[in-house]
Chains A and B, each alone.
Chain A
Amino acid sequence: MMRLVPRTETSLPWQIATPILAVLATMITGGALFAIMGYDPVAAIRTIFWDPLFGPAAGYSRPQLLVKAAPLILIASGLAIGFRAGIWNIGAEGQYIIGGITGAAVALAVYPAEGMWIFPAMVFAGALGGWAWGMIPAMLRNWFGASEILVSLMLVYVAQKVAAWMAFGPMRNPEGFGMPGSRNLTQYPSAANPELIDGTGAHWGVVAAAIAVLATWFLFSRHIRGFHIRTAGLAPRAARFAGVKPEALVAFCLGLSGALAGMAGLFEVAGPAGQITDSLGSGYGFTAIIVAFLGRLHPLGILLAGLLLALTYIGGELAQLTLQLPAATVQVFQGMLLFFLLGFDLLTRFRVERRVLA
């Protein structure tokens, strides 16, 4: 008979091992799933995890890795700050959409003016839009005790409606022959978020993600505010005793994660997506939650987890093309990853004891 015994201290080796175990378990279970569906499991796994980086068509897919990973890492860095403090922003997707809209609005308003200031102003407006969308659950929690989990999640659906309204209404391209969607910002030099170095996929969002990783690392390791955030997550009463105002912390965490998500939305709209459409939300805001947890809410972990999740996006598309795997494959993989991670997480807090019945 086996039973779980609580550990006196959380085990560090297990904390590092569980994400790796979760990835392996996802591969094995995913392979088994493919086998049942009649696909060659080895080929499928190789197509998803290996071919995007080293396969025959890697030249096309490799730059996509950074394109997909940048928004994930940028959003997850912000989410991790809140999650460490026990403040659960589940609505990054909505903040991402609103940030994309407010950032693009700057460009669309001044079109066709050119100027060095336009793109920075868009980034700022995007961050501001995401911040404001994040402040709604923050204020509702502080004033009325509303759950930020529910409010932020519900606001995702509101944001999607706003995006559809913009695409069909105020932001519709006047020269677009009545098609829904805004002007294409990639064709507007002052507003475009281009590939900075050819063949890498790196745009300004990648730079922002790198800065976000370094900044969160600095915040948590060196700054007293990072210490207070961790304290609030582990022992709220101790945080209050140390002088943390819970309301201020809620506003800081939801505002900051909203701003980063909003920025990610702007980089996407001005770059890879190019325009405001009704399908502006692409699921990055939700996938970033998996990235944050898979990365153990640690900046370095988030960097690696963001790259891995980006890989599943690209690999999933590749598998769709070459093996005709269903489109839902990516979601199944991401779901399994989170499932296994949370499952194996038990081992960091408990150890398995084999017990002989007396």
Chain B
Amino acid sequence: MTQPEVVRAEAFRAEVFRADGIGKSYPGVRANDDVSFAVLQGEIHALLGENGAGKSTLVKMIYGLVRPDQGQMALNGQPHHPTDPREARASGVAMVFQHFSLFDALTVAENIALGMEHPPPRRELAARITTVSHEFGLPLNPSRRIATLSAGERQRVEIIRCLLQNPRLLIMDEPTSVLTPQEAELLFATLRKLADQGTAILYISHKLEEIRAHCDRATILRGGKVVDSCNPRAHSARELAAMMVGGEMRLIDRTGRQAGDVLLQVNDLSLPVPTGEGTALKNVSLSLRAGEILGIGGVAGNGQEELLAALSGEMRSAAAAVTLDGKPLGAASPEQRRKAGLLTAPEDRLGHAAVPDFSLTENTLLTAGTRKELVRNGLIDHKAAKSYAEQVIKDFDVRTPGPGTAARALSGGNLQKFVIGREVLQTPRVLVVNQPTWGVDAGAAAAVRQALLDLARAGAGVIVISQDLDELLELSDRFCALNEGRLSAPRPTEGLTLDEIGLMLGGAHGMEVASI
């Protein structure tokens, strides 16, 4: 569709949803302030903004999970003030959440029946699931168990669950964060088809390229307010980013790095599934040179956490399976590895990389005790810990009242800067980070990425495990993919296309061609 047509079409498209002056406050935060926008019939409308811009609060109000303090909402011209999600669903709003709510042990049909007010007989439901799923190019077998489905297929279950309600407005919350590029393409084809049949789609994301490629209009939120509304196709990703963060994006400086000697080697590392659940690591091998950044991509749950745990020492292996400077470390404790210079930063900031109830000063003691001499002969030097926390806060621009603040009181981005800073300032030989910018606003993400590049420039080796492909392409010299606990052979990032990456990530998973 070319531009003028879109504009002309809008002129007689009906408004499905309208918000007028919506406001919502939480203690200390104005989450939404005088938000007004409209979603038209048949359009894919992007809600664009950094983390903490108020996107989630806004859609939770539309879906009846949160009630606004001020303002009016209307659905199909009728006042829309749902008190709970059931009421919202009844009036035609459906939502697909970022995190799925499916029971692994049940089948697709059983899961869908659980979410319905009045489920039809099982056989009839199965037939409807098959019909609807084929109609929208989302092939799905109603009798498969959820446990056997890939993330992309699970998302289909959630979407089909919504489609069976014949929604007027479909809300999608960062749906592509769990998908391979191919799966994402399939999803967009479905959304387009839905939109063409008249459903209004509200699409939440901070991925600029996909919004530019697939959305008809974008409403941009910053600090809880609508700052702009535009046709995303008419702007570059840089311009959109500037609207989102309210200023120019900092450019990443990749220069000045030289590959040196091999520092870290992982040799044919296999580990069984840790207690309970998880992914077994299968014959993982890699080598990392000084000054190099190795990117490891993959869809969540394919062994990322386990790989980090195997490198941090939380999971032990044969001694020779992990070596640093040729010294075997596979059986070493986390402390011994830190002493040797192998540092890590796990994905989960609250509860893993940091203790929420501890102050930042106390949180330095989690990993920096030995290398920064904050602990000597088992005795804690509180003064040294405090000044190290102050140094991290200063060097990494962590916005906080001071080192005595509890970790939980920091925003995601600031805590992430603290966690990365705590490791980087220990001048590691090798730093391994998992999802370094997950849930972090654009400004903080750029700072974290630059810190990793600077570290590599100073001669350290860095491994970045991430689900954000743009981030991996931006940072890494070589790229490999984790899929069901196996690590692919690395390939130079330069010249790698998104299609090739998708194949590396997905293997043969969920790659059925849409039957559109």
- Interface positions of A (Cβ within 8 A of B): 8-10, 222-225, 227, 230-231, 234-235, 237-238, 240-243, 245
- Residues of A near B469 (CB, < 8 A) are none
B340 to chain A, nearest CB (A): 13
Known: A238-B366, A241-B344. 20 other contacts (CB 8 A): A8-B408, A9-B406, A9-B409, A223-B379, A223-B380, A224-B378, A224-B379, A230-B358, A234-B357, A235-B355, A235-B356, A235-B357, A238-B352, A238-B355, A241-B367, A242-B334, A242-B366, A242-B367, A243-B313, A243-B335
Q: Give CA–CA (A227, B362) in the complex, Å.
A: 8
Task: Closest B residue to A7 by CB, please name it.
Answer: B27
B333: CB under 8 A from chain A?
yes
Q: Give CA–CA (A235, B379) in the complex, Å.
A: 21
5 A-B pairs with the lowest CB-CB distances in the bound complex, closest first = A243-B334, A243-B335, A235-B355, A237-B352, A242-B366
Q: Give CA–CA (A245, B356) in the complex, Å.
A: 20
Question: Which of A225, A227, A241 is packed against the most chain B CB atoms within 10 Å?
Answer: A241
Task: Closest A residue to B28 by CB, please name it.
Answer: A8
- Residues of A near B378 (CB, < 8 A) are 223-225
State whether A234 and B358 are in contact (beta carbons under 8 Å apart), knowing that A223-B378, A241-B314, A243-B334 are contacts in the complex: yes
A1 to chain B, nearest CB (A): 16
- Interface positions of B (Cβ within 8 A of A): 27, 312-314, 333-335, 338, 344, 346, 348, 351-358, 362, 365-367, 369, 375, 378-380, 406, 408-409
A239 to chain B, nearest CB (A): 8
- Residues of B near A230 (CB, < 8 A) are 358
Q: Give CA–CA (A225, B377) in the complex, Å.
A: 11
B375 touches A241 (CB 8 A): no
Chain B interface SS verdict (over half): loop
**Of A222, A223, A225, A235, the contact of B351 (CB 8 Å cutoff):** A235
- Residues of B near A238 (CB, < 8 A) are 351-355, 366
A241 touches B333 (CB 8 A): no
Chain A interface SS verdict (over half): helix
- Residues of B near A223 (CB, < 8 A) are 378-380
A235 touches B352 (CB 8 A): yes
- Residues of A near B375 (CB, < 8 A) are 224
- Residues of A near B312 (CB, < 8 A) are 241
Q: Give CA–CA (A231, B409) in the complex, Å.
A: 17
Task: Closest A residue to B376 by CB, please name it.
Answer: A224
Q: Give CA–CA (A8, B355) in the complex, Å.
A: 15
Q: Give CA–CA (A230, B406) in the complex, Å.
A: 15
- Residues of A near B358 (CB, < 8 A) are 230-231, 234
A8 touches B333 (CB 8 A): no
- Residues of B near A9 (CB, < 8 A) are 406, 408-409
Task: Closest A residue to B367 by CB, please name it.
Answer: A242
Q: Give CA–CA (A225, B348) in the complex, Å.
A: 23
B44 to chain A, nearest CB (A): 35
Task: Closest A residue to B374 by CB, please name it.
Answer: A224
Q: What are 20 A-B pairs with beta-carbon distances under 8 A?
A: A8-B27, A8-B409, A222-B379, A225-B378, A227-B365, A227-B380, A234-B355, A234-B356, A234-B357, A234-B358, A235-B356, A237-B348, A238-B352, A238-B354, A238-B366, A241-B314, A241-B344, A241-B352, A241-B367, A243-B338
A241 touches B406 (CB 8 A): no
